[in-house]
Structure 1
Amino acid sequence: MILWRAMAENLTTEGFAPLRIKQVVRETCDAVSLVLDVPEDCSHRFRYKAGQFLTLLVSVEGRDLRRCYSMSSAPLEDELRITVKRDPGGVVSNWLNDTATAGSELQAAPPEGKFVLDEGVSATAPLIAFAGGSGITPIMSLVRTVLADSERPVKLFYANRGRSSVIFSDALEQLADAYPDRLTVRHHFDEDAGVVSPETIDSFAGDSAAGHFFICGPTPFMDTVENALLSAGVTKDRLHLERFTVAEIPVDAAETQDTEEVVIELDRKKTVAAYRKGDTLLQVARSAGLRAPYSCETGSCGTCMARIVEGSARMVNNDALDDDEVAEGWVVSCQALPTSPRVHMIYE
């Protein structure tokens, strides 16, 4: 686990730094890319891996809000670029699309996320990616990196409602022209072929015995792809998922537990909080007035990792921790529901 510390002069106590917008690129009518300038004194903190994201802290109508946006640039390009798609009801994404201008500043925390290329994977093992809508953002960073840094073949399945929704259309064409023997791109348009089916996924994936699979997009799309690949024999260690939306906690998710209190250790201080039925452990910490670490709130990034040292909890969604970490008592607290009368957790 990596804990970001505010060491550079421009970093706040929570790790946020002011990044100036160098360029605003209109990708589609409802998606914009922002090229960000990182201050020299904290540039080392903003080095990133392909597939990672930034957490932005913005103030909209008097509310301080945090949102995560993936880099669409690749580290080798020596550029920090995020891409944001307008979303119905998306306060921050819509605000950025409407108001972001070159020269203005955004508060950002250093890059995070585990949706990255596996170290030690063969330089010739295929990368097979499935993107839906704005899910192309981290996929684009991964594709660019693999094509430039290895000999691995790349297959990209990109689903959109229609042709006008395709982000990076020109860039994908340029990559296909530059790497005709290594890059395969297949576009799927719901308006022509209906929603993506398991059969379509099977047909595109081909031999499931080889390669690593990266999936990002709307939840229904991701579920279809994940289930199809698992049914085809792809092992979980070769599946990599990045979720953009906060996973909803089912109404009856905590019906069987009778937790009374939660003990939270944060920054070497211990707090005892009463438990309100249905709350995640992160929500308990917030209700107690604690500034617990968090970012994506989908169970994907691992920022809110905590270790259970007494009692038990179960995770509604977990795309960040491996089996060994879970066995050691780690949870992503944004998705963890207590399952014992008393729970003691430590943010380390």
Structure 2
Amino acid sequence: MARTPLFQRATVTRIIKETADARTFVLAPHEGAVSYVAGQFCTFRVRVDDVELFRSYSMSSAPETDAELMTTVKRVVGGRVSNWLIDNLSEGDVIEMSRPAGKFCLRESERPLLGFSGGSGITPVLSLAKSALATTDRRVRLLCVDRDRASAIFDATLEELVARYPTRLEVLRHLDADSGLLDPAAVRAFVADDGAADSYICGPEAFMAMVEEALPGPGAIFSERFGAAEPVVAVAEPEPTATPEPAATAGTVTVILGRKKVTVPRNAGETLLESARRGGLTPPFSCESGNCATCMAVLTQGSATMRVNDALTDDEVAEGYVLTCQAIPDTAETTVRYE
């Protein structure tokens, strides 16, 4: 079955300055229109200081309402890719992007939709809101949290949507500079009588965790995560001990990347991505949480079980594709090929 390559080239046709540190890039993929669903993202491959880097950014467009493909990037302090994109990309430049992925998408429902966004987390939430308003009769209510008025992304876009759907769309802006940090009581006050609504959440990890805990239920909760770092917890330092090597398991793992092919002994509990690295290869990856599909590859021998899969479709899994950051071999002899 013919399949779209993971990465393709796209021309930046327009750049929209959303705020001082956020840009929307309007993209024209070279291989024609991209099929995607509201709420999904693309992973971008860029070279910064001779190092190949991958980062995932959500679409701010929705296929039902926008003729152009748009992704929005907010500058992150110390973020090598976000800073490079904002400082270096110009209209007419060409960039490499993956096919759309992700499962932070609308579920069929007649219940109201509540969107909770922190900072640039408004990007996929806006896409979902556009889609829901254009294709359903659902009420949509958004709680958008920003540092201050100057950092509020899509202000004009949301005002236009409210004017178009005055009886179905409500947008509440919470500015930390004016009201302090959002707290659980404010979340519950916003929800009010819509406890049975579907809630979609995107933003910094601490923000999402707080909203998830505060939601009164019984509505469904959907959150978008690109792989947040584990919190640092202070613990008593144990006596130094030798670190055991991973337990070897009978069999081997063979990884093919371009013209390179390596075979390493199979280690218990080790992912295919970890095996590839152990063999000296540098395969593509980004989130390492099973969300972005940057590390996907196809099994040509054996089988593997993915701990998490929030990126591949059922058809792709049936064809043998796996997320190598999540796939652990089930068979003694396993071969995987990166495309």
Q: Give the TM-score, by structure 1 length.
A: 0.76
Find 2:146's aligned residue among 160, 169, 175.
160
Structure exhibiting the larger radius of gyration computed from Cα positions: 2
Residues 131-164 of structure 1: CA distance to partner in whole angstroms, max 9, x if unpaired? 1000111111111111111111101111111111
Shift in Å, 1:288: 2.2
Match of 1:197 among 183, 190, 202: 183
Aligned partners of 1:311 and 1:94: how far apart in 2?
Answer: 37
Given candidates 20, 37, 40, the residue that maps to 1:29 is: 20
1:216 alignment counterpart: 202
- Deviation sequence 1:58-101 (CA, Å, 0-9, x none): 11111111111111011121210110000011001001111111
CA pair 297-146 structure 1, distance change in 2 beyond 3 A: same
Percentage of identical aligned residues: 41
Q: Offset of 1:282 from its aligned partner? A: 2.7
**Which of 48, 51, 54 is the equivalent residue of 1:63?**
51
Aligned residues: 320
Equivalents in 1 of 2:148, 2:328: separation in Å? 39
Change (3 A) 1:146 1:331: same
Asked whether 1:242 is paired with 2:227, we answer: no
Structure with greater helix percent: 1
Deviation per residue, 1:265-302 (Å, 9 max, x gap)? 65799965468999865333333245656443333345
1:152 partner amino acid: R
Pairwise CA distance, 1:47? 1.4
Task: Report the Cα distance in structure 2 between the residues aligned to 1:276 and 1:89, rounded to whole angstroms.
Answer: 35
Structure 1 residues 211 and 285, CA, compared in 2 at 3 Å: closer, same or farther? farther
Task: Give 1:175-324 correspondences, 5 Å limit.
Answer: 175-207=161-193, 209-229=195-215, 232-234=217-219, 238-248=220-230, 258-260=246-248, 263-264=252-253, 273=264, 282-290=273-281, 294-301=285-292, 304=295
> Structure 1 residues 256, 65: closer, same or farther in 2, change over 3 A?
same
Q: Which runs of 5+ in 2 are unaligned?
A: 236-242, 314-320
Residue 319 to residue 215, structure 1, CA distance change in 2 (3 Å): farther
**Counterpart for residue 49 of structure 1:** 37
Preserved CA contact (<8 Å) 1:125 1:210: yes
Q: Deviations over 1:16-42 (max 9, x none)?
A: 222111001110000011101122xx2
Report matched runs for 1:15-26 at 5 Å: 15-26=6-17
Separation in structure 2 between the aligned mates of residue 104 and residue 159 of structure 1, nearest angstrom: 32
Asked if structure 2 preserves the Cα contact closer than 8 Å seen for 1:263 and 1:270, the reply is no
Distance 2:10 2:303 in 1: 41
Q: Contact between 1:22 and 1:37, CA under 8 Å: does it hold in 2?
A: yes
Specify the SS of the correspondent of 1:147.
helix
Structure 2 partner of 1:137: 123
Identify which range, 195-204 or 264-273, moves more after superposition: 264-273
Contact 1:247–1:297, Cα closer than 8 Å, also in 2? no
State which of 101, 113, 118 in structure 2 corresponds to 1:112: 101
Contact 2:98–2:294, Cα closer than 8 Å, also in 1: no
What is the distance in 1 between the residues matched to 2:194 and 2:295? 33
Normalising by structure 2, report the TM-score.
0.78
Q: Is the 8 A contact 1:163 1:189 kept in 2?
A: yes
Question: Per-residue deviation at 1:337?
Answer: 9.0
Equivalent AA in structure 1 for residue 91 of structure 2: A
In structure 2, how many angstroms separate the alpha carbons of the residues matched to 1:289 and 1:277? 19
Please name the residue that 1:81 is paired with. 70
C-alpha distance in structure 2 between counterparts of 1:37 and 1:65, whole Å: 21
**Relative to 1, partners in 2 of residues 1:63 and 1:302: Cα closer, same or farther, differing over 3 Å?**
closer
- Offset at residue 187 of structure 1 (A): 1.0
Aligned partner letter, 1:102: E
Question: 1:9 matched to which residue of 2?
Answer: none
Evaluate the alpha carbon distance shift between residue 334 and residue 305 of structure 1 in structure 2; reply closer, same or farther with a 3 A threshold: same
Note the alpha carbon deviations across 1:176-201, whole angstroms, 9 max, x for none: 11111101111111122222212222
- Specify whether residues 199 and 281 from structure 1 end up closer, same or farther in structure 2 by C-alpha distance, changes over 3 A only: farther
Q: Which residue of 1 aligns with 2:238?
A: none
Alpha-carbon RMSD across the aligned residues, in angstroms, is 4.1
